[in-house]
Structure 1
Amino acid sequence: MTSTPHRAGYVAVIGRPNVGKSTLTNALVGAKVSIVSPRPQTTRHRLLGIATFPEGQVLLVDTPGIHREQKRAMNRMMNRAARGSLEGVDAALLVVRAGQWDDEDTLAYDALRGAGLPVVLVVNQVDRIADKTKLLPYLAQITEGREFAGVHPISALKRSGLEALVKTVLALLPEQGPLYSEDEITDKSQRFLAGEMVREQLMRQLGEELPYATTVEIERFEVDGAMLRIGAVIWVERDGQKAIVIGKAGSRLREIGAKARVQMERLFGAKVFLETWVRVREGWSDDEAALRQLGYE
């Protein structure tokens, strides 16, 4: 009896904004390494999620959504990060939302085909389609004239359909041993992840436009015995935005900090003492030098 060879490799997770790429990455890794919110363009950085299975290791490159709008330096940098993630990967997952396909889905597909990668189509949120008889005609329509190494209807949130997806993905990866140890789940530091946990709460709790004018910088990250002491600066672009983030008598800032701290303690497995401040830096999101200084690649 021959044993199945171990496979490992890099897989880009690509798609337009807000189709569930980060939710899928987290579901496959089995831990929250990428922040999620209902807002488009929550993911701003390229992030590696390490999913280890008995048969192999899938290194998921979670990316910002590919989008046409490039009004600000931030958007241009996010698009570069998404397209740059295609270099050196073995395969790609094109994530779309069930029942939808628009110009930005086509843009993402064309980018993948141009890179010459095997592409697995992942149709997410199928649980939201009440009439399942509509699914087959929809799949036939979006796959016509397009080449895929596999098509998988899934629900990343409910973790359904993932087993078959993993099997397809592993078959596309080279035969080799694991590239990371079994207990590693991401290539990002705890410092980076702490900043993302605060930013996730900004995305979830603030109004329509304001989250896009905010970013987070971790000024302090110290291990104090069994406790982590973390100091986070929330940067905004105008004084009026600062007042909104702080809230009446500091209420919103306290809520953002409290919820972020709970997420950090869950991820880091340690007690966290978190302090937050809000500061103004005009035009940071349209200034490439400022973006690099704030940790954007």
Structure 2
Amino acid sequence: MTDPESTTGRSGFVTFVGRPNVGKSTLTNALVGEKVAITSDKPQTTRRAIRGILNRPAGQLVIVDTPGIHRPRTLLGQRLNDLVDTVLGDVDVIGFCVPATEKVGPGDRRIAESLSGYGRAKKVAIVTKTDAASREQITERLLEVDALREDWAAVIPLSALGGEQLDILTDELLSLMPAGPPLYPEGVVTDESIEDRVAEIIREAALEGVRDELPHSIAVMIQDIAPREDSDLTDIWADVVVERDSQKAIIIGHKGSRLADVGRRARAGIEPLIGTRVYLNLHVKVAKEWQRDPKQLGRLGF
């Protein structure tokens, strides 16, 4: 009798969890082979469940990139944590990420313990950023992570930036997925809309170089994307939303210099995605304390 798994292949959902800034979005992009999630050294850069699709002869992985788990200080923060909780309850495999460059701390332990609440998912431990760590650090981290739980299906060190051990992780994740046909057509790398991807590219450009609380206060809303008649240009109108007038002044910069830089960086990311030259019209708007306001959060898609 033919083994059904050998003919159908495997497919399913995996998400990576960990403290903010442990490299989850970078790992997602490296596995998919294309930038589907923005990256930044600012905590809570990821604000939605972004799906990246990885196809292999053995099957298909749907990688759900989520916000980092953190202690929320705003309604937005609570909604991001709730989103992570929902995703964790639905996926087939959870990859718990710890950077090789930092000792395992209380936050890591708390997240590792919380995984017991998601009994249907298999768990894999991943030590990230090995390219930036010494051999001794990597060994120490592997021992620390391995001791956090007894039910790891695997413990894998890797470097998303260096491309090291990514195939090992892919093979392991696919082996843990249920048998079944692909969930997305071949050639699809994400189910994110063009509008959402453009908004995220603009937000990534706006995050560069800002400090303190400002990163949390930045949101982007796309008003319109339209090809210009009789031209190879695409016009994009977008609002960069902040919470206070002082933040608006920072984003705009002296005589608009900083906003112009944001526009240049964003266009460089948007044009390959859209496939045409782009005219990007950015406006900076203030929505007072939007992170704490349910109505404002709803308008901004949270």
TM-score range, shorter chain: over 0.9
Structure 2 residue 225 is the aligned partner of structure 1 residue 221:
yes
Residue of structure 1 equivalent to 2:261? 255
User: Aligned equivalents of 1:21 and 1:43: distance in 2?
Assistant: 9
State the 1:135 CA deviation.
2.6
State the 1:238 CA deviation.
1.2
User: Aligned equivalents of 2:51 and 2:21: distance in 1?
Assistant: 18
Amino acid at match of 1:165: L
Deviations along 1:8-62, whole A, 9 cap, x unmatched? 1011121110000000000011100100011111111111111112221110010
User: Aligned equivalents of 1:145 and 1:191: distance in 2?
Assistant: 40
Distance 1:95 1:145, change over 3 A: closer
User: Aligned equivalents of 1:271 and 1:73: distance in 2?
Assistant: 38
8 Å CA contact 2:129–2:158 kept in 1: the answer is yes
User: Aligned equivalents of 1:183 and 1:224: distance in 2?
Assistant: 28
Residue of structure 2 equivalent to 1:127? 131
Structure 1 stretch displaced more, 206-215 or 168-177: 206-215
Aligned with residue 30 of structure 2, among 27, 39, 46: 27
User: Aligned equivalents of 1:145 and 1:26: distance in 2?
Assistant: 27
SS at match of 1:86: helix
8 Å CA contact 1:23–1:36 kept in 2: the answer is yes
8 Å CA contact 1:4–1:55 kept in 2: the answer is no
Write the mapping of 1:98-247 to structure 2, written as runs, cut at 5 A.
98=100, 99-116=102-119, 117-130=121-134, 132-144=135-147, 146=149, 147-224=151-228, 226-247=232-253
Structure 2: state its 5+ residue gaps. none
8 Å CA contact 2:109–2:148 kept in 1: the answer is no
Structure 1: state its 5+ residue gaps. none
Amino acid at match of 1:184: V
User: Aligned equivalents of 1:182 and 1:270: distance in 2?
Assistant: 24
8 Å CA contact 2:236–2:280 kept in 1: the answer is yes
User: Aligned equivalents of 1:134 and 1:37: distance in 2?
Assistant: 24
Moved over 3 A (4+): 1-5, 223-227
Give the TM-score of the pair, scaled to structure 2: 0.92
Structure 1 stretch displaced more, 98-107 or 160-169: 98-107
8 Å CA contact 1:229–1:273 kept in 2: the answer is yes
User: Aligned equivalents of 1:87 and 1:227: distance in 2?
Assistant: 43
State the 1:4 CA deviation.
6.8
Query: What is the root-mean-square deviation in Å for CA atoms of aligned residues?
Result: 1.8
Amino acid at match of 1:16: R
Residue of structure 2 equivalent to 1:78? 80
Structure 1 stretch displaced more, 132-141 or 101-110: 132-141
Distance 1:145 1:214, change over 3 A: closer
Give the TM-score of the pair, scaled to structure 1: 0.94
SS at match of 1:80: helix
SS at match of 1:191: helix
Residue of structure 2 equivalent to 1:96? 98
Residue of structure 2 equivalent to 1:52? 55
Residue of structure 1 equivalent to 2:281? 275
